[in-house]
């Protein structure tokens, strides 16, 4: 349960890292490689994830309220049960993404 709120990870390589239940609220993760990362039940409220690679990431039950996910690669990611209320998903790739039970998505 790491507290990494407002941290700067721009361009970092977090490939397959385990940050489940971490507090990353307000963190800047722009252009970060987070392919295969474990972020289940993490708090990413207001985080900036612009153009980040989140392919095959586990974001189940994650708080992504107000997060900036524009241009993100979310291919094959699990967002089951995630809260995406107010999140910006413009130009995000959601191909084969599991959105079962996700809330806050505009249809």
For residues 42 and 60, the answer to whether their CB atoms sit within 8 Å is no
Q: Give the span between the Cα atoms of 102 and 21, in whole angstroms.
A: 17
Q: Quote the domain boundaries for residue 2.
A: 1-56+65-72+82-107
Residue 16: which CATH number? 2.160.20.80
Asked if the structure places residue 77 within a domain, the reply is no
pLDDT at 3 over 70: yes
- Domain total for the chain? 1
Long-range contacts of 5-10 (CB under 8 A, 24+ apart): 5/43
Please give the share of the chain, as a percent, with pLDDT higher than 70: 98
pLDDT tens digits, one per residue of 22-72 = 999 999 999 999 999 999 999 999 999 999 999 999 999 999 999 999 999
Distances (CA, A) of 58 to 7, 15, 83, 107: 20, 12, 14, 23
pLDDT tens digits, one per residue of 66-98 = 999 999 999 999 999 999 999 999 999 999 999
């Amino acid at each position: 349960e790491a507290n990494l709120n407002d941290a700067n990870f721009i361009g970092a390589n977090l490939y397959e890292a385990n940050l489940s239940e971490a507090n990353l609220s307000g963190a800047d993760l722009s252009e970060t490689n987070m392919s295969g990362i474990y972020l289940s039940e993490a708090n990413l409220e207001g985080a900036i994830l612009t153009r980040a690679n989140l392919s095959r990431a586990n974001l189940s039950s994650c708080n992504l309220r107000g997060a900036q996910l524009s241009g993100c690669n979310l291919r094959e990611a699990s967002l089951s049960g995630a809260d995406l209320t107010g999140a910006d998903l413009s130009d995000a790739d959601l191909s084969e993404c599991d959105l079962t039970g996700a809330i806050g998505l505009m249809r």
